Amino acid sequence: MAPHDLRRSFKRPAISDQERRRQQSLLRQSQNRRDAQHHARFLASTAFSLPSQTPELEPSFSQPEHI
Amino acid sequence: VAGIELPHKQWPELIGSLLSNLPQLPAHAKQATLETLGYICEEVSPDVVDQDHVNKILTAVVQGMSSTEENDVRLAAIQALYNALGFAEANFSNDTERDYIMRIVCESTLSPDVKIRRAAFECLVAISSTYYEKLAPYIQDIFNITAKAVKEDEEPVALQAIEFWSSICDEEIDILEEYEGDFSGESDVPCFYFIKQALSFLVPMLLETLLKQEEDQDQDEGAWNIAMAGGTCLGLVARTVGDDIVPLVMPFIEENISKPDWRQREAATYAFGSILEGPSPDKLVPLVNMALNFMLTALVKDPNNHVKDTTAWTLGRMFEFLHGSAMDAPIINQANCQQIITVLLQSMKDVPNVAEKACGALYFLAQGFEDAGSASSPLTPYFEDIVQSLLAVTHREDVVESRLRTSAYEALNEVVRCSNDETAPFVVQLAPVIMVELHQTLENQVAADERQSELQGLLCGCLQVFIQKLGSSEQTKYHLMQYADHIMSLFLRVFASRSAAAHEEAMLAIGALAYATGSDFAKYMTEFYKFLESGLQNFEDYQVCAITVGVVGDVCRALEDKILPYCDGIMTQLLKDLSSNQLHRSVKPPIFSCFGDIALAIGENFEKYLLYAMPMLQGAAELSANTAGADDDMLDYTNSLRNGVLEAYSGIFQGFKGSPKTQLLLPYAPHVLQFLDSLYTEKDMDDAVTKTAIGVLGDLADTLGGNAGPLIQQSVSSKEFLKECLSSDDHLVKESAEWAKLAISRAISF
């Protein structure tokens, strides 16, 4: 049971620029998701289908036990 | 072994047998027993040890701490108590037992043995955060013993004594923030205003510590001493009490700021810098206006590097907290701006630690002008000089040994972020300069060279900022598109390094590039896909995985149905991620949101994933519906999980809208509605979840139409929940509710 390190951040900004960039990316992504949703909601309900080009998915997946 | 067995109710006799004849044991066996108890308490969770055993452990520990015991036994006992504190909630709620524990801990702070004194203060620190609300009867005595330790004791003990007050500040800052955030002015724990009450004694004690600096402490990354701890605590005290600290600190600053001894000048400057966050601008701006010129002169002329370091840091704090468009009284104007920039640029040529702080100050100077609007920033005339100076810093020979390089690139990022129409041409020219720098590091790639990877990370970060800036206006976006192929090829080469941090930065930048380039990003997918896949497989560096999940969303929105050829691989990996117990749980909610992004991009082609994705979503929805007994952290996580699941449903319903295959979703509708109803019944959704949940109701109604009409009408969500959301104060909740109302009315009248 070694003594616990009690050093605090010294003469450093509360968040680094890297952390800021990460947060800004998350913010942009959630805004873009919201915009895409909004766009989809107010798009006229026109039916169109996209051609299926990809092979079937094979794996079988377990239930989400570890979420 | 106990850590494994106790949670399974095995080895129930362990604690009893450890304690059975403790008082009769020789000292070394007592010590070993107490150490074992300490390790057990450190290892197992409080809920697996019953109260009877907790009582026995605490009794043994407190007896072991008695002054009649040998020092080694006392030390083992007090270290065990530190680990047992989390178990002692019931005992701390009992006045007699708490008084006894507190008395014995406080007595131990007076032990002749330095290790025991230190461990006793360490316990007080832990008690201050775990049982803040129980401290009132003891705070006066604790002040006296901490003051004595700070003044007279050896450094390891004094540091813990200061930490006690820093920890009380942390608690009170949290409580007061909760008061402010909650209109009822309530908090789970009341604030006892210990700091405010102790202020007139505490502040002089901390100011004294500032004079105990070590030579060259600024050059040593690992340094931590009493002056540093004291100043940090002073900063926390300022944040706790606000204006009240100013009159207590100003006389110290005035008395010491011009003294011949560098320690006095540095301590005065550090005190000033420390109190710049907390008090109101009304109180601080007049003082900063008086001090600014003095500080600028000191930064250039003071003969001592330590003073210059603290002066540059203090200038940075002035700009961070008191400069910006939100301030009524600007501290920077046309008249002093030139002098400030001249001084900062000159300081960037100083020794690395001073130059690093000057870059930091420039960062906050630029940040204050970030929302100044186009073409009106006072920085505009100096833009080119600033950029050149920062680039020169990154090329200094001594830049690698310190944080200076990071600081210079961070400042460059902020300067680029606050560029405007007038300075945009410089940014356009600067982008290839950074690309060349990145190219050079890749040409000399040594996979295991940490410093090189760090530089690559910084350069990718820088390019991310360029991409965002140049991509944000049509005029400059044209130039960005000219560079896009080259930039992308550089990012892909960064993945050859082994550094997770560099991968993370490259991935973030690629996400920004996908957003900026839109459907043109498709041409990079063949090459990029393998890195996207390995990012999703990176369980170990889960932040890389999390960022990659976000980038999948960016790519989906950029490519829309052109993402289809890659979806089997991406979905396979995302489903594996969800099933893994190795991946950090924080990545899982964004993966669900990502399902929504994919579904929205590929529409009815999501059909083949429904069979796999829907059970996952249902499982997570059921897990997150019930929050009984969850603490705040768990509730936050549960809400983020709910949000992810709901965003997935939203994307899937909207993706299938208008398709002949919408009937495939009908079997899932009862569960989705049930989930929404259960969320409404639980009453613990945050606003983001409420907004997404009511939006999903609309999406379901919109896509399934009349087929789901009767189901929708049976749900509580379509009645009470919708009604509540329609009258919400949050405009986003209200907007989603109006959408749901419209979609439901269409579905029902179908």
How far is CA A35 from each of CA A18, A31, B160, B430, B568, rounded to the nearest angstrom?
A: 26, 6, 51, 32, 25
Rounded CA gap, B588 and B47, in Å? 27
The predicted structure's pLDDT at residue B50:
79
CA B322 – CA B668 distance, rounded (Å): 54
The confidence band for B21, taking pLDDT boundaries of 50, 70 and 90, is: confident
Q: Is the pLDDT of residue B270 over 70?
A: yes
Instruction: Give residue B43's pLDDT.
Output: 80
Q: How far is CA B316 from CA B52, B251, B278, B310, B360, in A?
A: 55, 22, 15, 10, 6
* pLDDT: which is higher, B555 or B710: B555
Q: Average pLDDT for residues B230-259, to the nearest whole number?
A: 98
Q: Could you say which of B232, B464, B468 has the minimum Cβ distance to residue A10?
A: B232
What does the pLDDT average to over B34-48? 81
Per-window interface: B 588-647 vs A, CB < 8 A: 588, 593, 596-597, 600, 602-605, 608-609, 612, 615-616, 619-620, 623, 641, 647
How far apart, in whole angstroms, are the C-alpha atoms of residue B368 and residue B315? 13
Quick one: average pLDDT of B705-728? 91
Q: In angstroms, how far is CA A60 from the centroid of its own chain?
A: 25
For residue range B613-636, what is the model confidence (pLDDT) as tens digits? 999 999 999 988 877 777 788 889
Q: Whole-angstrom Cα distance, residue B164 to residue B528?
A: 51
Who has greater pLDDT, B625 or B163?
B163
Q: Out of A29, A45, A52, whose CB is closest to B605?
A: A52
pLDDT the model gives residue A46: 39
**Contact criterion met (CB < 8 Å) for A3 and B651:** no
pLDDT average, residue stretch B108-135: 95
Q: Do A64 and B660 count as a contact with CB atoms less than 8 A apart?
A: no
Please provide the DSSP assignment of chain A as one string.
-PPPP-----S--SS-HHHHHHHHHHHHHHHHHHHHHHHHHTS------PPP-SPPP-------TT-
Does residue A52 have a pLDDT over 60? Answer: no
Q: Would you place residue B640 in the very low, low, confident or very high pLDDT band (cuts 50, 70, 90)?
A: very high
Phi/psi-derived region of residue B214, left when phi > 0, alpha when psi is between -120 and 50, beta in every other case? beta
The answer, for B165 touching chain A at a CB cutoff of 8 Å, is no
pLDDT for residue B415: 96
Determine the residue of chain A that is closest to B41 in CA distance.
A1
Which chain A residues are within 8 Å of B360, Cβ to Cβ? 13
- Which chain A residue shows the shortest CA-CA distance from B623? A67
- Nearest Cα to B488, choosing from B465, B469, B454, B463? B463
**Residue B673 pLDDT > 90:** yes
- Whether B166 and A8 lie within 8 Å, measured CB to CB: yes
Residue B45 DSSP label:
-
Q: Where are the alpha helices (DSSP H) in B137-280?
A: 139-152, 155-181, 194-209, 226-241, 246-256, 262-274
Instruction: Out of B178-182, B329-333, B489-493, B708-712, give the one with best mean pLDDT.
Output: B489-493
- How far is B504 from chain A, CA to nearest CA, in Å? 9
- Percentage of residues in chain B with pLDDT exceeding 90? 74
**According to the model, what pLDDT value does residue B328 have?**
86
- pLDDT one-digit tens code per residue, A15-27: 899 999 999 999 9
Pick the most confident of B327-336, B480-489, B709-718: B480-489
Please provide the distance, in angstroms rounded to a whole number, between the alpha carbons at the two ends of chain B: 64
Query: Within a 10 A sphere around the Cβ of B16, how many other Cβ atoms?
Result: 11
Q: Which two tokens stand for residue A62?
A: 């377990």
Query: How far is it, in rounded angstroms, from Cα A28 to Cα A26?
Result: 5
State whether A21 and B160 contact (CB < 8 Å): no
For tokens 């833009």, the residue is B383
- B737: burial class by Cβ within 10 Å (0-12, 13-18, 19+)? buried
pLDDT category at A47 given cuts 50, 70, 90 is very low
Mean pLDDT of chain B: 92
Q: Which residue has the tokens 């995985």?
A: B545
pLDDT value of residue A3: 61
Q: What is the interface size between A and B, counted as CB pairs within 8 Å? A: 168
- Asked if residues B142 and B192 have their Cβ atoms less than 8 Å apart, the reply is no
Angstrom distance (rounded) from CA B585 to CA B577: 10
Q: Do B554 and A29 touch (CB under 8 A)?
A: yes
Query: Chain B residues with CB inside 8 Å of A62's CB?
Result: 579
Residues B518-543 have pLDDT tens digits of 999 999 999 999 999 999 999 889 99
Is residue B198 over pLDDT 80? Answer: yes
The per-residue pLDDT for B10 is: 80
pLDDT of A56 reads 47
Partner-chain contact A48 B658, CB within 8 Å: yes
> CA of A14 to nearest chain B CA: how many angstroms apart?
11
Q: Given B360, B593, B659, which is nearest A47 (Cβ)? A: B659
Q: What is the pLDDT of residue A55?
A: 46
Chain A contact present for B237, CB below 8 A: no
Note the pLDDT tens digit of each residue in B67-99. Answer: 888 899 999 999 999 998 988 999 999 999 999
Nearest to B60 by CA among B47, B77, B48: B77
* Angle of helix A17-41 versus helix B542-559 axis, rounded to 10: 40
Residues B160-167 have a mean pLDDT of: 97
Query: What pLDDT, on the 0 to 100 scale, is given for residue B17?
Result: 75
Residue B185: pLDDT over 70 = no
| pLDDT surpasses 80 at A53 | no
B567 to chain A: which residues are within 8 Å by CB? 54
DSSP three-state, residue B642: helix
C-alpha–C-alpha distance, residues B641 and B620, integer Å: 7
Nearest CA to B508 out of B474, B550, B471 is that of B550
Backbone angles phi, psi at B234, to 5 degrees: -60, -40
| Main-chain phi, psi angles of B35, to 5 degrees | -65, -40
CB contact under 8 A, B579 and A25: no
What whole-number distance in Å separates Cα of residue A47 and Cα of residue B409?
50
List the single residue in A with minimal CA-CA distance to B612. Answer: A61
| pLDDT greater than 60 at residue B305 | yes
B300 within 8 A of B262, measured Cβ to Cβ: no
User: Is the pLDDT assigned to residue A63 strictly greater than 60?
Assistant: no
Q: How far is CA B53 from the centre of its chain?
A: 37
pLDDT of residue B19: 78
Q: Å from B605 to nearest chain A CA?
A: 7
**Angstrom distances, CA of residue B130 to CA of B195, B236, B739:** 17, 19, 46
Tens of pLDDT, residues B378-417: 899 999 999 999 999 999 999 887 899 999 999 999 999 9
B28 vs B284, residue with greater confidence: B284
Count of Cβ atoms closer than 10 Å to residue B386 Cβ: 22
Which residues 347-366 on chain B approach chain A with CB closer than 8 angstroms? 357, 360, 363-364
